[in-house]
DNA sequence: AATGGCCTTAATGAAATCTTAATACAGGGG
DNA sequence: CCCCTGTATTAAGATTTCATTAAGGCCATT
């Protein structure tokens, strides 16, 4: 129950097996994903405590997955890759990865680096105490690490998509995000289902704007997209 | 915002120089220590933001330094060592190090891993948040990244076509743009609906020229087209 | 098998925007 | 002075885009 949950993203069956059995010996819980699309989905739905990511996936570049996850979470990402070029390492690390191991790697080293990351999210004594990297906008508060949202000091429940949507807007405060950009970031694939986006935006708004302070965090830019504005007391600041 | 202060613990003069000059190029501040004793002393007295640590010091084992520092701080420690054995890595990482690089290492990779640690201690606030390219013309300001327009410090709402039109003019300040050029740029296809263009130009002008400062940003060139002029205080500059 | 949460899809009315047309204005040449 | 060309402005209709609601399907848990 309070063991850390690790998402293993690796398309090579042998290596995946190697990693998962290693994790089992340490008592860690895990999920697996063989494609980038599955990785995105699992990371949202399962809310793992950290991700072990192979860069060489069949469908999308691993760096894209890192960027996607970083839109809504700071959970540790350890890259395990066959690419040993500096450029690859730097790109992955700057995209938001926390560590980078090149294949072939020692399972002992992987475990040690895993412990480093777990330490970072304060995994101690069987209890996960995530560090708090929070976004604050007037009465709205997002704790990225914990994956929680607070409004007027009260926690509100958001579904996975609503949460990602809110994080995406929050991480780009002041910027207008086009429909296609949002769709691409949230769903990963190239859907152009704008009506669906509208529905989610409506439910999200109902949850975060129907409160005592009648703040309007989300503006719609007709024909373009949406943007979150920084609210201060009553006026807007860039 | 202060530059991060980095403590470099390395007894080899050449490598120390390599690291410090690299740090200098990035604008980081640094202190150095050549022995374990000096490292402990410096880390306490200078309160660096992070430590780059060589394990092979003359007086004490690097792991002891890690343990010592971890008794009172969890500032990032990146180990740089000639030892490439798993055992050494695991011992250092489990002692509290955040990362482990084996010599010879790439300075680029070191910098990337350094950025990872800096990100962790929220030094991302130190770097410029958004250098979103903005266009400024007297009281008029366009933030292309945000997709917004301000006039006299107040945001004004433009419809998609108005916004595109304004951007087109702004990106060609001083130049006269013919009707056909504008029509082609905005509508894409080859419409020659000049009357429509006039309507949009009128509404755009009403929005950006009906303000306190009675600046005229847009000139009409009869029979040719329009152009935006750079306004400075009161006079016009090409 | 039933329940509940969540996502999707469709449909409605409302709002904003675009288009189009009509009218008014300014300047130049006859 | 009047007409003509090119432009500015305004208004009304047509179109697009949006918010909101509700219904159906999927998946997981019970």
| DSSP labels, B2-21 | PPPEEEEE---HHHHHHHHH
Report whether pLDDT(B128) > 50.
no
Report whether pLDDT(B131) > 60.
no
Taking alpha carbons only, the member of B24, B21, B19, B18 closest to residue B4 is B24
Helices B160-170 and B179-187: angle between axes, nearest 10 degrees: 130
pLDDT at residue A233, rounded to an integer: 58
pLDDT at residue A131, rounded to an integer: 53
Any atom of strand C under 7 A from CB of A189?
no
Report whether pLDDT(B213) > 80.
no
Report whether pLDDT(A236) > 60.
no
pLDDT at residue B122, rounded to an integer: 62
B109 SS3 class = helix
C-alpha to C-alpha distance for B190 and B186, rounded to whole angstroms = 10
| Residues of chain A found within 8 Å of residue B90, distances taken between Cβ atoms | 108-109, 111-112
The stretch A95-117 carries a mean pLDDT of: 94
The stretch B42-68 carries a mean pLDDT of: 92
Report whether pLDDT(B178) > 60.
yes
Q: Say yes or no: B106 contacts chain A, CB-CB below 8 A.
A: yes
167-226 of chain A touching strand D, CB 7 A cut-off: 179, 194-195, 198-199, 201-203, 205-206, 220-225
The stretch A40-48 carries a mean pLDDT of: 83
C-alpha to C-alpha distance for B88 and A106, rounded to whole angstroms = 13
Pairing of the two strands B230-232 and A123-124: unpaired
Taking alpha carbons only, the member of B231, B80, B82, B78 closest to residue B151 is B231
pLDDT at residue A238, rounded to an integer: 58
A120 pLDDT tier (thresholds 50, 70, 90): confident
Percentage with pLDDT > 70 across chain B: 89
The stretch A53-75 carries a mean pLDDT of: 89
C-alpha to C-alpha distance for A21 and A31, rounded to whole angstroms = 12
Taking alpha carbons only, the member of A30, A83, A27 closest to residue A52 is A30
Any atom of strand C under 7 A from CB of B187?
yes
Tell me whether residues B112 and A120 touch, CB distance under 8 A.
no
pLDDT at residue A215, rounded to an integer: 65
Tell me whether residues A108 and B86 touch, CB distance under 8 A.
yes
Report whether pLDDT(A1) > 50.
no
pLDDT at residue B94, rounded to an integer: 95
Tell me whether residues A109 and B89 touch, CB distance under 8 A.
yes
CA atom of B198 to C1′ atom of C21, Å: 14
**Residue A238 CB neighbour total at 10 angstroms:** 15
Compare B3 and B33 and report the one with higher pLDDT: B33
The stretch A175-197 carries a mean pLDDT of: 89
Question: Nearest 10 degrees: CA dihedral of B107, B111, B113, B114?
Answer: 130
User: Which residues, including other chains, have CB under 8 Å from residue B146's CB and lie 6 or more apart?
Assistant: A174, A175, A176, A227, A238, B132
Q: Say yes or no: A86 contacts chain B, CB-CB below 8 A.
A: yes
Please tell me which of the candidates A119, A222, A224 has its beta carbon nearest to residue B147: A224
Q: Strand D: which nucleotides have any atom within 7 A of a protein Cβ?
A: 6-11, 16-22
C-alpha to C-alpha distance for A94 and A98, rounded to whole angstroms = 9
CA atom of A181 to C1′ atom of C14, Å: 26
Nearest CA in chain A to B105: A86
B236 pLDDT tier (thresholds 50, 70, 90): low
Percentage with pLDDT > 90 across chain B: 73
What's the gap in Å between the CA of B205 and the closest CA on chain A?
Answer: 20
Q: Is the peptide bond before B26 cis (omega within 30 degrees of 0)?
A: no
Taking alpha carbons only, the member of A7, A5, A9, A25 closest to residue A80 is A9
pLDDT at residue A62, rounded to an integer: 92
Using CA of residue A55, residue A57, residue A61, residue A66, what is the dihedral sign? negative
pLDDT at residue A125, rounded to an integer: 44
pLDDT at residue B199, rounded to an integer: 95
B127 pLDDT tier (thresholds 50, 70, 90): very low
Report whether pLDDT(B22) > 80.
yes
A54 pLDDT tier (thresholds 50, 70, 90): very high
190-229 of chain B touching strand D, CB 7 A cut-off: 194-195, 198-199, 201-203, 205-206, 220-224
Any atom of strand C under 7 A from CB of B195?
yes
Give B233's Cβ-side CA count (13 Å radius): 1
pLDDT at residue B231, rounded to an integer: 85
Q: Say yes or no: A235 contacts chain B, CB-CB below 8 A.
A: no
**Residue B185 CB neighbour total at 10 angstroms:** 15
What's the gap in Å between the CA of A91 and the closest CA on chain B?
Answer: 8
Are the C-beta atoms of A168 and A71 separated by less than 8 Å? yes
What single string gives the DSSP state of each residue in A178-230? Answer: EHHHHHHHHH-S----HHHHHHHHHHHHHHHHSSSS----EEEETTTEEEE-E
The stretch B152-174 carries a mean pLDDT of: 94
**Spacing of C-alpha B49 from chain mean position:** 20
Q: Which of A130-144, B74-88, B97-111 has the lowest mean pLDDT?
A: A130-144
Report whether pLDDT(B179) > 90.
yes
Question: Nearest 10 degrees: CA dihedral of B2, B7, B13, B18?
Answer: -50
What's the gap in Å between the CA of B96 and the closest CA on chain A?
Answer: 7
For all residues of chain B together, what is the average pLDDT?
88
Report whether pLDDT(A222) > 50.
yes
The stretch A43-53 carries a mean pLDDT of: 87
Taking alpha carbons only, the member of B18, B47, B43 closest to residue B33 is B43
Helices B179-187 and B194-209: angle between axes, nearest 10 degrees: 90
- Tens digits of per-residue pLDDT, A122-169? 655 455 555 557 888 988 999 887 889 999 889 999 999 999 999 999
Give A44's Cβ-side CA count (13 Å radius): 23
pLDDT at residue A85, rounded to an integer: 93
Are the C-beta atoms of B226 and B171 separated by less than 8 Å? no
Helices A62-70 and A36-45: angle between axes, nearest 10 degrees: 20
CA atom of B195 to C1′ atom of C20, Å: 9
A224: nt with nearest C1' to CA: D17
* Helix (H) or strand (E) run with residue B64 in it: helix B62-70
């Amino acid at each position: 129950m309070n063991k850390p949950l690790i998402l293993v993203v690796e398309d090579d069956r042998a290596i995946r097996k190697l990693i998962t059995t290693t994790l089992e010996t340490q008592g860690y819980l895990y999920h697996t994903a063989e494609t980038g699309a599955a990785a995105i989905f699992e990371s949202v739905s399962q809310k793992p405590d950290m991700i072990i990511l192979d860069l060489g996936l069949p469908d999308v570049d691993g760096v894209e997955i890192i960027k996607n996850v970083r839109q809504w979470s700071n959970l540790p990402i350890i890259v395990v890759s066959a690419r040993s070029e500096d450029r690859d390492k730097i790109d992955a690390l700057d995209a938001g990865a926390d560590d980078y191991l090149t294949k072939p790697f020692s399972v002992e080293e992987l475990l040690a680096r895993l412990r480093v990351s777990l330490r970072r999210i304060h995994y101690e004594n069987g209890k996960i105490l995530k560090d708090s990297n929070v976004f604050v906008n007037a009465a709205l508060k997002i704790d990225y690490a914990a994956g929680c949202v607070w409004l007027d000091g009260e926690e509100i429940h958001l579904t996975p998509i609503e949460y990602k949507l809110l994080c995406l807007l929050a991480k780009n405060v002041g910027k207008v995000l086009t429909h296609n950009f949002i769709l691409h970031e949230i769903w990963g694939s190239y859907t152009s289902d704008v009506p669906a986006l509208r529905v989610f935006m409506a439910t999200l708004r109902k949850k975060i704007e129907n409160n005592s302070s009648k703040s309007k965090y989300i503006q719609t830019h007709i024909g373009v997209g949406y943007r979150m504005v920084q609210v201060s007391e009553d006026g807007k600041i860039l």
